[in-house]
Copies of this chain bind each other. A is one copy, B any other.
Amino acid sequence: MIDRSYYPIDPWRLRETGLPLGALAQSESLFALSNGHIGLRGNLDEGEPYGIPGTYLNSFYERRPLPYAEGGYGYPESGQTLVDVTNGKLIRLLVDDWPFDIRYGELHGHERSLDFRSGILQRDVDWTSPGGKRIRVRSRRLVSLTQRAVAAVEYVVEPVDGPARFVVQSELVANEAQPRLSADPRVAAVLDRPLEAVSCDSDDNGVVLVHRTRSSGLLMAAGMTHQFDIPGRADIDVDVREDWARTTVISELQPGQSLRLVKLLAYGWSSLRSETAIADQVGGALAGAQFSGWEGLVDQQRDYLDDFWDTADVEVHGHAELQQAVRFALFHVLQSGARAEGRAIPSKGLTGNGYDGHTFWDTEGFVLPVLTLTMPDAAADALRWRHSTLELAKERAQVLGLRGAAFPWRTIRGQECSGYWPAGTAAFHVNADIAEAVNRYYVATGDDRFLEDVGLELLVETARLWKSLGHHDRTGRWHLPGMTGPDEYSAVADDNVFTNLMAARNLRVAAEMAARHPAKARALGVDPEEEAAWRDAAAAVYIPYDDELGVHPQAAGFTAYAEWDFEGSRDKYPLLLHAPYFDLYRKQVVKQADLLLAMYWCTDEFSAEQKARNFDYYERLTVRDSSLSASVQAVVAAEVRQLDLAYDYAYEAALIDLLDLHDNTASGLHMASLGGAWTALVAGFGGLRERGGMLCFDPALPDGLAGLTFSVRWRGVRLRVEVRQSDVTYAVHDGQDASLTLMHAGEQVEVTAGEPVTRPLKDRKPWLPRPTQPPGREPASARATASPYDSTL
């Protein structure tokens, strides 16, 4: 947990008013800047102290061995791990004889602030050196959302109460020291000094260092150039070596004077382009950044973000902390995907090296739903990245003896990197999640070109996979045995309801889209017989149901298992650190929403009563050891009229990293939960669903929440939804002629520009009493955390 007293709540900023050293690594994640291409952890300018140093380039990875005590056919032999690349954030400072290091001397004030509207991380330090010189340092840092290869730092230092000599060393450093990243000596060896020097160069326009990874053979370049603003005499010196470059400025300042330095950074990498091409590319980016200058970059950043917030902002009235958290969440989701452009969106974005920097189904399942409705181009980019790995997925399917494409459970560049097949290979649902994201994007945008370019092929190849994975039994029911669903405390089970429903959906959508785009379908080798076979399998899909209990088992047989000893596990969370998989898998215990996710994504496959009963049943079993759970529980809780509980889960999803609820924010933020926070509000309290191509709402607010306002883009039109306790207003915001037909609580509503529609909300009594959770795993109360001063509508 993070000591929140350092973090006063502010609706548009994350502020930190001190420097709790024990939570340094967490704050580095919280204050990480990224544009989806470059990622800079919020390390201090001077590099030390640090929790985990981190400068990342999307998809720039090193190969590492995947060892097995006992091997098996089809096990991936080589993994991929995100590399900490050349650090350009470093600006060291010497005050007279003393290095500026907040662990020494006296720290009078230290404040950091990440502004969601400017996209700038600002730091203000008031410090007296052990030698007695008091100084002020202000730095501002950005990773440009408009110039993809560029980051910049403005660094201002001044003496407070007497003259002082300042030596500022602005650096690029490759292969910086790391905390121990792996207990496996072979893996540690790979990650220790991962970059091989290729070239270094310096001229009037700056410095460029080029490096290569040893095993994956990727080339990268990092460049820097500086602009200075110094009142008096200054010496400037540039020193370049293979693994580092340093620009040194020396000057003496009087109180009232300040030294200002703008450091412009550029990064590039490639698996194909030559060393000189990469160096030139970075040089060009530096020139572009110089052309804009610091102020230009700041202005562009603000414009970009103004546009984003105009579309995407969510207003939460009645809970200031949740208000801040959901903006924090949206800001980081934006950062993760804004300029990924043909690269993956990792589960931690580029905020840390957690999960080796891998991308999971989190992207399609939890991040893209947000981007699709707020920043659809970024969603399309992410799916185009999946498509770019299609050949690898087809090869993987072939290795597994299957048809179509089997996308990896975890990867950076498209190759399967999972070293534990029951929770990797067997979790085939990732393929249906990708297909669902394609469909979701297409329905929301009507982007036919996307469908023809990449969408249909993704649908077809995933449908082929499912067809080869399933089989009909003697009575004609279609089964998927041996699958691992979302819940990671179950694995390799037969007829997982989520997987079966999603596979059927994948098959159905593929058949439907192929029929609608026959030319492209024929080009992909799809004929009407194949389409029919997909439809038939989907129609025959078997969904187990426990008649006695009146609930769906998560997978066949689940409800007959013994219940986990929750009472004996009070102090043993997360359970996976205290119990073997074999035992988790054979008991009724749920790590994360699984059947609940099926009820959300395949909403029409369940009756309202089934939803209420299933929710009630699984709440007792769900321990939320995964960050993918709370947001889904929030959505379904709201649907089954447990609005208070939904509020609690929405709070948990949004605050996951601000409170470090899973004790691993240090290694990066949980993009899925942050995206899920938006979903918890919009799909939960907004009741947003898509049905038959139409946008549907059924809003309801919990007691204590005065209002919720959000916007979505739907087929080019921006819709603003303002929910209050008693009514909701739908308004269209794009141009004069824009209009949208939507469903409000079962009623078709036409909304046109300038003519908002308001509808009353129905009173919604819960179907069943509020369910209980496993002892010790009850969510914190959102209402209790709302301060009496929280704004109301």
Q: Which of A68-76, A136-144, A606-614 contacts B (4 or more CB under 8 A)?
A: A68-76
The answer to whether A79 and B69 have CB atoms under 8 Å apart is yes
User: Which B residues are in CB contact (< 8 Å) with A185?
Assistant: 186
How far apart are the CA atoms of A761 and B522 in the complex, in Å?
A: 69
The answer to whether A576 and B69 have CB atoms under 8 Å apart is no
How far apart are the CA atoms of A581 and B424 in the complex, in Å?
A: 12
The answer to whether A401 and B580 have CB atoms under 8 Å apart is yes
Closest B residue, CB atoms, query A67: B67
The answer to whether A548 and B66 have CB atoms under 8 Å apart is no
Closest B residue, CB atoms, query A473: B560
Q: Which of A113-121, A272-280, A302-310, A413-421 contacts B (4 or more CB under 8 A)?
A: A413-421
A400: interface (CB < 8 Å): yes
The answer to whether A582 and B69 have CB atoms under 8 Å apart is no
The answer to whether B73 and A576 have CB atoms under 8 Å apart is yes
The answer to whether B419 and A422 have CB atoms under 8 Å apart is no
The answer to whether A579 and B401 have CB atoms under 8 Å apart is yes
A777: interface (CB < 8 Å): no
A670: interface (CB < 8 Å): no
Encode contact with B along A56-95: 1 for CB under 8 Å, 0 otherwise.
0000000000111110111110010000000000000000
A180: interface (CB < 8 Å): no
User: Which B residues are in CB contact (< 8 Å) with A399?
Assistant: 580
How far apart are the CA atoms of A73 and B186 in the complex, in Å?
A: 21
A556: interface (CB < 8 Å): yes
The answer to whether B70 and A67 have CB atoms under 8 Å apart is no
User: Which B residues are in CB contact (< 8 Å) with A491?
Assistant: 492
Which residue of the partner chain, among B471, B481, B580, B585, contacts A400 with CB atoms under 8 Å?
Answer: B580
A233: interface (CB < 8 Å): no
User: Which B residues are in CB contact (< 8 Å) with A578?
Assistant: 73
How far apart are the CA atoms of A67 and B79 in the complex, in Å?
A: 14
The answer to whether B66 and A69 have CB atoms under 8 Å apart is yes
How far apart are the CA atoms of A425 and B69 in the complex, in Å?
A: 14
How far apart are the CA atoms of A422 and B548 in the complex, in Å?
A: 31
Query: Given A422-B422, A482-B585, A582-B482, do A69 and B67 touch, yes or no (CB 8 Å)?
Result: yes
The answer to whether A426 and B582 have CB atoms under 8 Å apart is yes
How far apart are the CA atoms of A482 and B581 in the complex, in Å?
A: 10
Closest B residue, CB atoms, query A470: B562
How far apart are the CA atoms of A769 and B492 in the complex, in Å?
A: 36
Query: Given A426-B582, A561-B481, do A72 and B420 touch, yes or no (CB 8 Å)?
Result: yes
Nearest CB on B from A578, distance (A): 6
Which residues of A from 546 to 600 have beta carbons under 8 Å from B? 548, 556-557, 560-562, 576-583, 585-586
Q: How many residues of A contact B (CB 8 A)?
A: 50
The answer to whether B481 and A419 have CB atoms under 8 Å apart is no
Nearest CB on B from A547, distance (A): 12
A332: interface (CB < 8 Å): no
The answer to whether B481 and A581 have CB atoms under 8 Å apart is no
The answer to whether B66 and A580 have CB atoms under 8 Å apart is no
User: Which B residues are in CB contact (< 8 Å) with A422?
Assistant: 422, 492, 582
Query: Given A492-B585, A560-B479, A561-B481, do A68 and B577 touch, yes or no (CB 8 Å)?
Result: no
A203: interface (CB < 8 Å): no
User: Which B residues are in CB contact (< 8 Å) with A562?
Assistant: 471, 481
A184: interface (CB < 8 Å): yes
A765: interface (CB < 8 Å): no
The answer to whether B67 and A481 have CB atoms under 8 Å apart is no
A103: interface (CB < 8 Å): no
User: Which B residues are in CB contact (< 8 Å) with A577?
Assistant: 73
Which residue of the partner chain, among B74, B75, B494, B586, contacts A482 with CB atoms under 8 Å?
Answer: B586
Nearest CB on B from A303, distance (A): 44
User: Which B residues are in CB contact (< 8 Å) with A79?
Assistant: 69
User: Which B residues are in CB contact (< 8 Å) with A482?
Assistant: 582-583, 585-586
The answer to whether A74 and B580 have CB atoms under 8 Å apart is yes
A474: interface (CB < 8 Å): yes
Closest B residue, CB atoms, query A483: B586
How far apart are the CA atoms of A396 and B492 in the complex, in Å?
A: 24
Which residue of the partner chain, among B76, B481, B557, contacts A586 with CB atoms under 8 Å?
Answer: B481
Encode contact with B along A363-387: 1 for CB under 8 Å, 0 otherwise.
0000000000000000000000000
Nearest CB on B from A719, distance (A): 43
How far apart are the CA atoms of A561 and B471 in the complex, in Å?
A: 8
Nearest CB on B from A542, distance (A): 10
How far apart are the CA atoms of A621 and B247 in the complex, in Å?
A: 73
User: Which B residues are in CB contact (< 8 Å) with A583?
Assistant: 400-401, 482
Nearest CB on B from A350, distance (A): 23
Closest B residue, CB atoms, query A568: B401
Query: Given A556-B557, A562-B471, do A580 and B69 touch, yes or no (CB 8 Å)?
Result: no
Nearest CB on B from A567, distance (A): 14
How far apart are the CA atoms of A421 and B556 in the complex, in Å?
A: 22
The answer to whether A421 and B73 have CB atoms under 8 Å apart is no
How far apart are the CA atoms of A422 and B577 in the complex, in Å?
A: 18
How far apart are the CA atoms of A20 and B597 in the complex, in Å?
A: 64
How far apart are the CA atoms of A692 and B423 in the complex, in Å?
A: 46
How far apart are the CA atoms of A269 and B579 in the complex, in Å?
A: 37
Nearest CB on B from A48, distance (A): 31
Nearest CB on B from A476, distance (A): 12
The answer to whether A73 and B401 have CB atoms under 8 Å apart is no
The answer to whether A184 and B580 have CB atoms under 8 Å apart is no
Closest B residue, CB atoms, query A76: B69
Nearest CB on B from A153, distance (A): 38
The answer to whether B184 and A73 have CB atoms under 8 Å apart is no
How far apart are the CA atoms of A479 and B560 in the complex, in Å?
A: 9
Closest B residue, CB atoms, query A572: B401
Nearest CB on B from A186, distance (A): 7
User: Which B residues are in CB contact (< 8 Å) with A76?
Assistant: 69
Which residue of the partner chain, among B67, B73, B560, B576, contacts A580 with CB atoms under 8 Å?
Answer: B73
Closest B residue, CB atoms, query A66: B69
Sorted nearest first, the 4 A-B pairs with minimum C-beta distance are A69-B419, A482-B586, A67-B67, A471-B562
A-B contact pairs, 12 of them (CB 8 A): A68-B68, A69-B418, A69-B420, A70-B418, A72-B420, A73-B576, A400-B580, A401-B583, A421-B580, A492-B582, A492-B586, A494-B586
